Amino acid sequence: MVEQLLARGYEVNVFDIRQGFKNPDVTFFLGDLCVKKDLYPALKGVKTVFHCASPAPSADDKELFYRVNYTGTKTVIEACKEAGVQKFILTSSASVVFEGIDIKNGTEDLPYAMKPIDYYTETKILQEREVLNANEPSSNFLTTAIRPHGIFGPRDQQLVPILIEAARSGRMKFMIGNGKNLVDFTFVENVVHGHILAAEHLSSDSGLSGQVGTIIL
């Protein structure tokens, strides 16, 4: 995300609980996204926010999922509105409409899962609802949510490493079903490109305002 934004000539602030990389062209702000006062310095003068923060789906901490994905997102939205941010783009998940039943040629009109596949997804549904409900064109605060699935690519620290470790430990020797299920994985550069396009085209009359988009390539 940072690399593509810089390549397009944008100024970039990064807010995180720790500094995961170094770049002389980026201003880093450290803090807890659940603490509003920590967010204000990073939001000063900012017009567009990409909310990508989330615990790893493979973690097993319900309290953390709820705190970051739901209550933390509510805090970020409040801080953005108070700071004068105009556009808010959320990294959501395609799993918010999945209930363990095959989806083929699905669209953004599918309802949220009534029985989410796990608690992480349950909190992502709460999060996405909060973001879309916060859309207020009359107040010049526009929101949209992007739904990728199974992100992989350069510097991936979750999907592929977890699969490799599972294979090494012998946990991938079994197959459930006929083996013909298809799953879309999303290349990280396509995810980023989709987020940036959403931000650049987000307006009160664009069709993106208060809506979702799915990336499956």
Q: How far apart are CA 212 and CA 85, in angstroms?
A: 19
Active site residue 120: yes
Q: Where do we find the tokens 């664009």?
A: 206
The rounded distance, in Å, linking the Cα atoms of 8 and 112 is 35
Catalytic residue among 10, 40, 119, 120: 120
Give DSSP secondary structure letters for 118-145: SHHHHHHHHHHHHHHHT-BGGGTBEEEE
- As a three-state string, the secondary structure of 47-76 is CEEEECCCCCCCCCCHHHHHHHHHHHHHHH
Q: Which of 207, 215, 210 is nearest to 91 (CA)?
A: 215
Catalytic residues: 120
